[in-house]
Amino acid sequence: MTQHEIWMQQAIREAERAYEKEELPIGAVIVFENRVIAKGYNQVETLNDPTAHAEIIAITSAANYLSSKQLLGCTMYVTLEPCPMCAGAIVLAKLEALYFGAFDNKSGACGSVMDITNNKSLNHILPVYGGILDEKCSEILRSFFDVRR
């Protein structure tokens, strides 16, 4: 197992926490200096907040941990390709790189539908790598929607 897969496994554990709380199962972790400094999972329903996505919660936690609005040297691992809101937050936080699991062909904003993270008109671009443990990341989402149907 590669180091990227190990970090993604931790994001998957966060997605499982969301699943247990009947939230859309998406999880994220932020790594700095080879250790996880922040975690997040979707809490939109729990907090009644449309912005309570895993990525936003992890970014807020990492910013608090580092006492900085810029997450220089940090890398995010998230189980699903970020939406436009989260991709914008990733750019504003100036993350060093983004790794995601499953591609989102409906609202993915890191290459699938649009590409906010590599828009040269913005103040920061970053490398994005998709498909890390994509089958595991997709399976938890499929399971969630199968139960709901």
Per-residue burial over 19-51, b if 16 or more Cβ lie within 10 Å, else e, is beeebbbbbbbbbbeeeebbbbbbbbeeeeeee
| C-alpha distances out from residue 13 to 25, 94, 107, 117, 120, Å | 10, 25, 23, 25, 33
Residue whose pair of structure tokens reads 């807020």 in the numeric block = 60
Residue whose pair of structure tokens reads 């499982």 in the numeric block = 16
Please pick, among 5, 16, 45, 55, the residue that the annotation labels catalytic. Answer: 55
SS3 27: strand
Residue 81 annotated among the catalytic residues of the structure: no
Residues serving a catalytic function are: 55
